[in-house]
Structure 1
């Protein structure tokens, strides 16, 4: 009886060897060489910030489409046009400040001249400045959303409340979260 199972045992061995080989190939494929730094950086930005991050025209077209859809859902009346215009204007992405953004190489060179505690203080100051600007923009959008909401009828408010969070939706005053699209 043991002779009957010998061929079966060698088939099992082959199947097991095939499974191990496939698993090995899968492991090797996952440790592939990373993409070029520029391509990897662009891919990371596209995934983290959405597909419109570096294409202002596409972003504007997307925003206009979403706003048109919301306006149609809400059935904005002529009397509400002023509130709608103020709302959509406040939701527009902020233009970059007139001050040019510091060059990364220049910033790196500046930081290299500092001691570690000075670098920490400089980075904290830059982060505080950026967070202050972001908070001010979020408050502005939130206030605009509240003003617009007050101009809506009860039925329109229900429609607005049912919108998903994100641009044109409730909660964030039009600010889109990182993982929404």
Structure 2
């Protein structure tokens, strides 16, 4: 088998490769660099991957969104005065949990004194504690939802069911986790 070297084709390939490299470099140069950690967000843009949804990490926005959803649900349910107490108990139980305070400098210093295996064990302990707290809060919300649901008329229950499905599992347990497994219970 004989191979012939074609100077024109080789030159065209080199020119094409050079053009592609130049265009690629130009495109990369126009991509904005990520802002340094801790810098304020750009006006009009979310600060992180979850910032734009339900006021994530902004308690005031999150509270406003919850109040809006609860107001819409209450209007659709057309509650009677006799059901107001059940509604108040239900909405009080749906408030997001208050997150624990940040570690103090003293706690941070104690943590820094631990060896890596000790830090891993401490993190596991803290994670287990946090998961237990989250499970207890979800159980409390689930029970509050069942209690409120029992106070509704059959027609209101149908409305509640439709809204509950539309908004995921937010009204009775894990916020925003609306998959089929989460909707059991």
After TM superposition, the score normalised by the length of structure 1 is 0.70
Q: Which of 1 and 2 has higher RCO (CA within 8 Å, sep 6+)?
A: 1
Say if 1:166 and 1:174, in contact at 8 Å, map to a contact too: no
Counterpart of 2:4 in structure 1 is none
Counterpart of 2:26 in structure 1 is 25
After TM superposition, the score normalised by the length of structure 2 is 0.68
Q: CA deviation at 1:27?
A: 3.5
2:78 corresponds to 1:75: yes
Q: CA deviation at 1:68?
A: 0.8
1:165/1:44 Cα in 2 relative to 1: closer, same or farther (>3 Å)? farther
Extract unaligned runs of 5+ from structure 2.
1-11, 179-185
Counterpart of 2:51 in structure 1 is 47
SS in 1 for 2:51: helix
1:48/1:176 Cα in 2 relative to 1: closer, same or farther (>3 Å)? farther
Extract unaligned runs of 5+ from structure 1.
1-9
Separation in 2, partners of 1:130, 1:49: 23
Q: CA deviation at 1:128?
A: 0.8
Alignment RMSD = 3.4
Separation in 1, partners of 2:130, 2:165: 23
Separation in 1, partners of 2:40, 2:23: 27
In the TM superposition, 1:1-181 aligns within 5 A as 17=19, 22-30=23-31, 32-39=32-39, 43-44=47-48, 46-47=50-51, 50-54=54-58, 56-96=59-99, 100-103=101-104, 106-163=106-163, 170=169, 173-177=172-176
Per-residue CA distance 1:49-106 (angstroms, 9 max, x = gap):
742423x333322221111100011111112111111100100122356xx4413x55
